Structure 1
Amino acid sequence: MLSYTGGFVLLAALLHASWNAMLHGNDDRFLSMTWMSIAIAAASTVVILFTPLPSDTAWPYIVASGLVHIVYNVTLVRSYRSNDLAQAYPIARGSSPLLVTLGAALFAHESIGPLHVLGIVMISGGIVAIALERGRVSRTGLLAALTTGVTIAIYTVIDGIGVRLSGGEALAYTAWMFLFYWLMPMLFVATRGIAALWTPVKTVPIAIGSSLFGGLVSIAAYGIVIWALQSGAMGAVSALRETSVVFAVLIGRGFLRETVSGKRWLACVIVAGGAVCLGL
């Protein structure tokens, strides 16, 4: 991967870990994810007014990715109900490079070299270590985190193929895909009611503001990834992005005051090291 592209993907990793920390740091994560989605969808609505349409061949991928992202949002909120950031985030994010690499090989005919195999082993080992550390991961929590990882892999492979068919319109592809985030407030209102969405604007404005800002950080982070997927191997881009597990642990320890054991530090480093191997 070209050095400047890799640098941007590492920036995306930091941004991605940051918005996940914002989400995890709010008490009502469904509410927070909903307001993040409103910010993402609103920004995307503005962008599509000033960008050309993606090519016709990209539209099935835009629709599929948009719907999978909604599933991802729901599973992410569920995983954070069961685990702290330093635990759930590496399981969800660490499992995706393995699946993206396999999916890219199957659907985009991208090769898997020896370093990829080493990265897969390191990532899998790190995930197992995190899952078994102190025996604190419940079956429900582990399933939710792994389900999140599967959805990450699915939408990454979809977007990797779709953006290459967009006619060079990565920004437009990203914006149209993120328009599906308007479904999140609809889902929230359907389950909790309109008052539950709007009342916190007055009662907890700081939390809502951080969620809106987190949404803008999120769209920037994944927009960089989609841009990189135009020319970079899907497994490599995904793996380099997943070095965000290290940023997540640092954020969880420094800002959310989460306890991070030596074993968890080591496991996260192994996951990150495996992700780097996949990116080489």
Structure 2
Amino acid sequence: MSPWALALILVAAVAHAGWNLLSKRASQADGLVFVWLAAVASTVLWSPLFAGFLLVTGTAVTWRDLAVIGGSTALHLGYFVLLQRGYGKGDLSVVYPVARGTGPVLASLVAVLFLDERPSPAGVAGIALVGIGVFLMGSGGLRGVGPGLVVGLFIAGYTVWDSQVVSAFAVAPVVLNYLTDTGRALVLTPFVLGTRRRLVAPVWREHRYRVVGAAVLIFLSYLLVLVAFTMAPVSVVAPAREISVLIAVVLGGRLLAEGDLRRRLLAAAVILGGVVAIALS
């Protein structure tokens, strides 16, 4: 792997763990309003990049593209809403690694059942390691493990679906990334402005820096990974970016004073090892 690709992956991992830290710190606010504000902010902040990409490349967004992006929007919407709710119930250092570890395992199972893929011995070992890591994470109490597992379902869903969107349907990743954010904002608008209108201003006043930070880092972390894919094989980039699991556990332990850091680091390391084995299988 080139040094530039490695640098991009590490920055992306920090950015990904960073926006999850911001989301956790805003977890006592109304989750639906926070997710909506972040999506609206992302749509506004990244619109020049999106428009510039369309102009420079001459890319046209077709109705077929919008249809498959709609599927991505639904999966990402469930992911963000449930993740925010999960952070309201559990620690960052539990929910995040369990979710990130469960996602690849379930995505692999979907690929085996529906895409006719067969895991290698390394893949089977990776699945077992993730299971052991999740067990270790839950041995200190199940709070946060359940939400992490549910979020992992949506990670698996959008991982498999998005891979088909950018490959089989040939939708540009920047287009997919931007329009899923925009779609999330549009879908949530009637719910937020209809029943939660009075909460918008208070959540914005208290968490505006976290909203804007999440809007920047969510998009940026994915964009950096996409660029890294052009410089190194997917089989190298994918496992390397999961270093964010360890970063999130450290952030939760140090900045949020979440307890039992040593055991959670051990469990996160086992989960990370399983994800790497799956990615390299």
Farther off after superposition, 65-74 or 109-118: 109-118
What is the match of residue 69 of structure 1? 76
What is the match of residue 12 of structure 1? 12
Q: 1:66 to 1:226 in 2, by over 3 A?
A: farther
Give the TM-score normalised by the residue count of structure 2: 0.83
Farther off after superposition, 258-267 or 84-93: 258-267
Give, in angstroms, the shift of residue 10 of structure 1: 4.1
What is the match of residue 177 of structure 2? 174
Out of 185, 189, 193, which is 2:193 matched to? 189
Output the CA distance in 2 between the equivalents of 1:3 and 1:116.
Answer: 27
Out of 125, 137, 142, which is 1:137 matched to? 142
Give, in angstroms, the shift of residue 270 of structure 1: 0.6
Farther off after superposition, 35-44 or 6-15: 6-15
CA deviation map 1:117-136 (0-9, x unaligned): 22111111101111222xx2
CA deviation map 1:32-57 (0-9, x unaligned): 33322222222354444331235665
Matched, 1:217 2:224: no
Output the CA distance in 2 between the equivalents of 1:25 and 1:201.
Answer: 14
Q: Which runs of 4+ in 1 moved over 6 A?
A: 228-231
Give the TM-score normalised by the residue count of structure 1: 0.83
Give, in angstroms, the shift of residue 199 of structure 1: 3.6
Output the CA distance in 2 between the equivalents of 1:102 and 1:149.
Answer: 13
Output the CA distance in 2 between the equivalents of 1:78 and 1:87.
Answer: 14
Report sequence identity in percent. Answer: 25
Write the letter of the residue equivalent to 1:170.
P
Task: Name structure 2 gaps, 5 residues minimum.
Answer: none
Number of residue equivalences: 271
Give, in angstroms, the shift of residue 264 of structure 1: 1.8
The 5 A counterparts of 1:87-126 are 87-126=94-133
Out of 47, 50, 60, which is 1:53 matched to? 60
Aligned residues: CA RMSD: 2.9
Give, in angstroms, the shift of residue 97 of structure 1: 1.0
Output the CA distance in 2 between the equivalents of 1:166 and 1:216.
Answer: 27
CA deviation map 1:85-138 (0-9, x unaligned): 1111111111011112223344555552222222111111101111222xx224
Q: 1:201 to 1:102 in 2, by over 3 A?
A: closer
Give, in angstroms, the shift of residue 60 of structure 1: 3.3
What is the match of residue 38 of structure 1? 40
Task: Name structure 1 gaps, 5 residues minimum.
Answer: none
Aligned residues of 2:69 and 2:176 also touching (Cα < 8 A): yes
Output the CA distance in 1 between the equivalents of 2:208 and 2:10.
Answer: 27
CA deviation map 1:142-183 (0-9, x unaligned): 432211110011011111110114546221222222211213
